[in-house]
Amino acid sequence: MTNRLTDLRLFKSILAGFLSFTVVLLILFNVNAIISPTGSYPISLKTIQSVSSTISTTVELPLATERCRQLPGADDVLVIVKTGATALRERLPVHFQTTLQCIQHYVVFSDMEEEFEGHYIHDVLSGVSAEMKKSAPEFKFYRDLHENRDRVTEFMGENAAVQRKAWNLDKWKFLPVVERALQAKPDAKWFMFIEADTFLVWSNLLKWLAKLDWREPYFLGQPVTMAGQLFAYGGSGWLLSRPAIQQMTHHMASQNRDYEYFTNKTSFGDLILGYVLEQAGLGLTDSWPLIQRETPSTMEYTQDIWCYPVVTFHHIDALDIKSIWDLEQEWIADVQAPLLHFDIFNQLIYPLLATKIDDWDNFSNGEEKALAPNEGFEDCKLHCEEDVQCMQFRFTPKKCTMSHSITLGWKADHSINSISGWMMERITQVKARVRCEEEKWI
């Protein structure tokens, strides 16, 4: 686990959120249905007064399939989507047309109350104290949003300053989103928190939760440590059982003011949440690689993860979501076993690997070999062939980098002259030897 949390992997994960071209841009999908989504939030949530407003609708959410809507355990789970007004217009529509069609109970929390394409969006920051809204610098952006709610699209686009302001404000959502989730569905046994660029494999989540005792105070996620504080990486998603969320909210009841001051001086919302849960006596259960922060194209595929089911991916764009969701629906209909990391690799990644792809970075980050000016891609390939465990390599002028794991990666700038290659015969042999007689759970 430790080597998965290196600075290099964290850098790649963060960088992924700012790149628009990923593996699925190489695949042609019929995405007409996700361009103009319709539907509404579930009736079961819109009637809850604590998270409702005057906005309402009577349009029912269209069913994806009877199978995905009626999976065992679905009624016991509330899915919470945390987003922001400047991001949801780009990121939410595909969720409404895919995963959220299958989920009976969900709620969307943002930094502004609104109705978006027939779906109700809650302002999760409405309960922050007036004092903090006035004094904390992040709330200037919040006020700008609300004063210009009819011009939100002008806050979007490629304006890095606006994106940074939205990200800074986001840290204030982590604590109230937990409190509001319990209010939204107090009888839920499980509360699954995701962000708008997180993909949730709903069928696998339900299979996993069926193996756990919801009466225990569970806090589940992918561990990260920063400044000595252990917490669950927010973009990967995190899970709380009802006793855990009750324990946290009870602890916070008398200390909300103190935790507002703590939030004001702390930069990362998921770190803030981890600290508060720790203070409430709740430890984090390591749930990697079920819950993890990569995309299919940035995963390091090794024998360590083949037989683990996938519950979340992070930094997912609309085409990624559509491709994985389509695969999940096939699995629900025909296979019924959990969708494993091996299945994702076999169906979506392996067909795109090749002996050579120009202008490509496959994230080879193992042994490096210095090359002479007259040496090129074929010389790099020979170095990889000499190492029987080498699965892929990357050539750049004067350097050859190899890796024992398998990663697809993404397109590189032409000026870098980056060429990636995979040892296809070795990878095919490894793939043929994989046997997942029993899936692995946490």
Q: Residue 417: which CATH number? A: 3.50.4.10
Q: Quick one: tokens of 400? A: 């050859």
Q: Which amino acid type is present at position 84?
A: G
Together in a domain, 59 and 151:
yes
Together in a domain, 278 and 141:
yes
Per-residue confidence (pLDDT) for residue 156, from 0 to 100: 66
- Asked if 169 and 163 count as a contact pair (C-beta separation under 8 A), the reply is no
Domain that holds residue 412: 353-433
Q: Quick one: tokens of 331? A: 């699995």
Question: 340 vs 96, 328, 366, 425, CA distance in Å?
Answer: 24, 10, 26, 23
> Does residue 181 belong to any structural domain of this protein?
yes
The length of the chain is: 442
Together in a domain, 259 and 399:
no
> Does residue 315 belong to any structural domain of this protein?
no
* The last residue of a domain, from among 286, 306, 327: 286
- Residue 289: cis peptide before it, omega within 30 degrees of 0: yes
Q: How many domains does the chain have?
A: 2
Together in a domain, 70 and 186:
yes
- Asked if 150 and 85 count as a contact pair (C-beta separation under 8 A), the reply is no
Per-residue confidence (pLDDT) for residue 428, from 0 to 100: 98
Q: Quick one: tokens of 319? A: 């085409």
* The last residue of a domain, from among 286, 314, 340: 286
Q: Quick one: tokens of 226? A: 């920063």
Together in a domain, 135 and 222:
yes
Per-residue confidence (pLDDT) for residue 31, from 0 to 100: 33
> Does residue 372 belong to any structural domain of this protein?
yes
Together in a domain, 278 and 378:
no
Q: Which amino acid type is present at position 108?
A: V
> Does residue 441 belong to any structural domain of this protein?
no
Q: Quick one: tokens of 252? A: 């916070």
Rounded distance between C-alpha atoms, residue 95 and residue 41, angstroms: 12
> Does residue 438 belong to any structural domain of this protein?
no
* The last residue of a domain, from among 286, 318, 335: 286
Together in a domain, 84 and 163:
yes
Together in a domain, 359 and 260:
no
Helix H, strand E, coil C: the string for the chain is CHHHHCHHHHHHHHHHCCCCCCHHHHCCCCCHHHCCCCCCCCHHHHCCHHHCCCCCCCCCCCCCCHHHHCCCCHHHEEEEEECCCCCHHHHHHHHHHCHHHHCCCEEEEECCCEEECCEEEEECCCCCCHHHHHHCCCHHHHHHHHHCHHHHHHHCCCCHHHHHHHHHHHHHHHHHHHHHHHHHCCCCCEEEEEECCEEECHHHHHHHHCCCCCCCCCEEECEEEECCEEEECHHHCEEEEHHHHHHHHHHHCCCHHHHHHHHHCCCCHHHHHHHHHHHCCCCCEECCCCCCCCCCCCCCECCCCCCCECCEEECCCHHHHHHHHHHHHHHHHHHCCCCEHHHHHHHHHHHHCCCCEECEECCCCCCEEECCCCCCHHHHHHHHHHCCCCCEEEEECCEEEEECCECCCEECCHHHCCEEEECHHHHHHHHHHCCCCCCCCC
Rounded distance between C-alpha atoms, residue 308 and residue 184, angstroms: 32
> Does residue 300 belong to any structural domain of this protein?
no
Together in a domain, 74 and 194:
yes
Together in a domain, 276 and 371:
no
On the CB side of 212, CA atoms within 13 Å amount to: 25
> Does residue 81 belong to any structural domain of this protein?
yes
Q: What angle do CA 348, 354, 357 make, to 5 degrees?
A: 110
Together in a domain, 43 and 175:
yes
Per-residue b or e along 89-106, where b marks 16 or more CB atoms closer than 10 Å to that residue's CB = eebbbbbbbbbbbbbbbb
CATH of the domain at 112: 3.90.550
Rounded distance between C-alpha atoms, residue 90 and residue 98, angstroms: 15
Together in a domain, 282 and 137:
yes
> Does residue 294 belong to any structural domain of this protein?
no
pLDDT in 10s for each residue of the chain, 442 residues: 434 434 444 444 444 444 433 333 333 333 333 323 333 223 333 333 333 322 323 334 444 567 898 899 999 999 999 999 999 999 999 999 999 999 999 999 999 999 998 999 999 999 999 999 999 999 999 999 999 888 887 766 557 888 899 999 999 999 999 999 999 999 999 999 999 999 999 999 999 999 999 999 999 999 999 999 999 999 999 999 999 999 999 999 988 889 999 999 999 999 999 999 999 999 999 999 999 999 999 999 999 999 999 999 999 999 999 999 999 999 998 888 999 999 999 999 999 999 999 999 999 999 999 999 999 999 999 999 999 999 999 999 999 999 999 999 999 999 999 999 999 999 999 999 999 988 899 8
